[in-house]
Amino acid sequence: MFKSLKGQGTVEYIVLVTSVIALAIYFLLGSGGGSSPFQDHLNKSYDTLGLQMENVANRLVGN
């Protein structure tokens, strides 16, 4: 029937790469309404880290 499936492999590779790029864009830029899930999670992580550093600094100073 088909002698070569090279074209099919190429199309599958292009679809896979396009899907990965689309997901990366979605997580970095969001769905249009506001900040992206990635940015929300990153901001929460920074807030948590800042609070932990402040707590450690207060313990070292003795407050």
**pLDDT, tens digit (0-9, with 9 covering 90-100), for 24-52:** 887 777 666 566 677 788 889 999 999 99
Does residue 35 fall inside a structural domain?
A: yes
Does residue 47 fall inside a structural domain?
A: yes
Quick one: CA dihedral 50, 53, 58, 59, positive or negative?
positive
Does residue 56 fall inside a structural domain?
A: yes
Does residue 1 fall inside a structural domain?
A: no
Q: Quote the CA–CA distance of 12 and 18 in Å, as a whole number.
A: 10
How many domains would you assign to the chain? Answer: 1
pTM over 0.75? The answer is: no
Quickly count: other Cβ atoms within 10 Å of residue 36's Cβ.
17
Q: Which domain holds residue 30?
A: 6-61
